Structure 1
Amino acid sequence: MGPIGRFAVVVDDDASVARAIARLLRSANITVDTFTTGTALLARMEAQPSYLPACVILDISMPEMDGLEVQRRLAGRAGAVIFITAHDLPETRDKALASGAIGYLRKPFNGRQLIELVRGTLM
């Protein structure tokens, strides 16, 4: 089973970062799940077709599959995408936003800004 209602998902290969973002969102009463790979998120969505996050927060740099590839594979299967990254390269930012991301935040990011972006997707 997964979360009931509209929820967010955090995908970051650094489990401590994923947990910290989840704690931040939960402190704002946002339901959230975490994954340490995009492959794990996609496998969950494949195995459970009703698992449809309203918002996916993706790290750009991850082993196996980077955030841009996860975004591409999520097209039409999940709600809004927000990227978080420690490496703010203009060409990556432009590609992410051109592909439909609603946000692109550099780590460390403003927690209130992330909460507001996520809340906007859950309305």
Structure 2
Amino acid sequence: MTKKCLIYIVEDEKDLGTLICNTLNQFYFDTKYFGNGLEAEQKIAAKQPDICIIDLTLPDMDGIDLIRRLQHKNIGIIIVSGRDALTDRVLGLELGADDYITKPFEPRELVARVQSLQRRMQLHEEKPVNKTQYARFSGLTYHPGSLTLNTDTPRQETLSRAEADMLMALLKHPYQILSRDQLLGENTVPYDRSIDVRVSRLRKKIQPENDKNALIKTVYGAGYMLVTEVEWG
């Protein structure tokens, strides 16, 4: 039997948290509800879920702080919040959140977002990358199996799943313009600047120091292009 997708709901409104759990349970997800960040964090340390749905306004901490602590774990993250400020959306995406839903919302919409994220995660599991494979470009080495980016110095960067998907698309098609849809795929969030935020974050991670030439070039009205040679090994 296929293992159920385990989802933790971290929400300070108990009625809403219960509603989310009940709705997801109807679609055969395994859910657990937590009313505060500390309780959720302790449970995550004991048993890591596949996906976390996190409210930004928690009674004991800012949800952004919880997301920051989870950003290097292999956990899908969906933000659910009544905070619609641009800074919250940008910061959540920069920390590796996969989606952002603003309250109020229809429970069925959340189910659709969860299913979309689950499909992406299953795709990674069903088609594992050869862990011995790597890509070298502009003095960097990217290891898809571990989502890590190394330079000739001790510095190492770990990419989020969304960043890794975007980088792989660019590495496979150097010197080709890729549209926003080609780069995002199912990583789309209801926020027009989501692609810009993720490209900006990826640029910071792959741009060699003292190199003023952007490796990811913006082609206005068309998309983005990786402008460097790529060697696979």
Question: Could you say whether these structures have the same fold, taking a TM-score greater than 0.5 normalized by the shorter chain as the test?
Answer: yes
How far apart are 1:15 and its partner, in Å?
A: 1.1
Equivalent position of 1:86 in the other structure: 82
How far apart are 1:5 and its partner, in Å?
A: 4.7
How far apart are 1:78 and its partner, in Å?
A: 4.7
Higher relative contact order (CA 8 A, sep 6+): 1
Q: Which amino acid aligns with 1:13?
A: D
Alignment check: 8 A CA contact 1:8 1:118 kept: no
1:111 lines up with 2:110 in the alignment: no
1:44 lines up with 2:33 in the alignment: no
**How many corresponding residue pairs?**
117
Equivalent position of 1:31 in the other structure: 30
Deviations 1:32-65 (A, max 9, x none): 111001100111233x2xx111110000111211
Alignment check: 8 A CA contact 2:4 2:28 kept: no
1:102 lines up with 2:86 in the alignment: no
Alignment check: 8 A CA contact 1:79 1:121 kept: no
How far apart are 1:117 and its partner, in Å?
A: 2.1
Matched-pair identity in %: 25
Distance 1:20 1:106 in 2: 16
Task: Select the residue among 27, 45, 51 that pairs with 1:55.
Answer: 51
How far apart are 1:73 and its partner, in Å?
A: 1.2
Query: SS at the partner of 1:44?
Result: helix
Gaps of 5+ in 1: none
* TM-score (norm: length of structure 2): 0.47
Alignment check: 8 A CA contact 1:11 1:59 kept: yes
Deviations 1:45-97 (A, max 9, x none): 33x2xx11111000011121111001011223351110111121111111101
Q: Which amino acid aligns with 1:38?
A: G
Which shows bigger deviation, 103-112 or 7-16? 103-112
The RMSD of aligned alpha carbons is 1.6
* TM-score (norm: length of structure 1): 0.85
How far apart are 1:110 and its partner, in Å?
A: 3.0
Distance 2:56 2:74 in 1: 17
Equivalent position of 1:73 in the other structure: 69
Gaps of 5+ in 2: 123-233
Which shows bigger deviation, 34-43 or 106-115? 106-115
